[in-house]
Amino acid sequence: MTDRIGKPISQRQLRVGEMIKQSLSMIFIRNEAKVPNLDTNTITVTEVKMSPDLKIAKAYVLPLGGKDAEESLNVLKDYSFLIRKILSKKVEMKFLPKILFRKDESFEYAEKIENLIKQTNK
């Protein structure tokens, strides 16, 4: 597996990304972050990609059913400091990474590919 530059992703990046993904998921499920105007237990964390220096974590998220995705994403971005504070109590690392929330578009992409395949099979 490689990152977008073509460098191989290290086992450490994968391991830390998975650890942060699981911790964020539990924080959202239990609504521990108390993010205003957002029911976090409807947020799914599909993947967390770590930078090579482990200082930045890109968390790919999607609300349940994909509804109000942009609005939910904006709220998460605005309150990422709050989520990071809760995460610091769950994850033991020398430097806790900055969390960048991104909309997971992999399901939309997969659906688009599936529709193209169905069209060519007709």
What tens digit of pLDDT does each residue of 28-50 get?
A: 999 888 888 888 888 889 999 99
The 10 Å Cβ neighbour count of residue 63 is 20
In a domain, 48, yes or no: yes
The count of residues in the chain is 122
Is residue 16 assigned to a domain?
Answer: yes
Domain assignment present for residue 3? The answer is: no
Residue 87 CB-half CA count within 13 A: 24
- Tell me the CATH number at 32: 3.30.300.20
Q: Which of 4, 9, 8 is nearest to 50 (CA)?
A: 9
Residue 90 lies in a domain: yes
Whether 31 maps to a domain, the answer reads yes
Which token pair is 49? 């990609």
Tens digits of residue pLDDT in 52-70: 999 999 999 988 877 778 8
Mean pLDDT over each residue of the chain, to the nearest integer: 85
Total domain count, the chain? 1
In a domain, 6, yes or no: no
Residue 4 lies in a domain: no
For residue 75, what are the domain limits? 11-121
Give the integer Cα–Cα distance in Å for 77 and 54.
19
- Give pLDDT tens digits for 86-118: 998 888 888 899 999 998 877 777 777 888 887
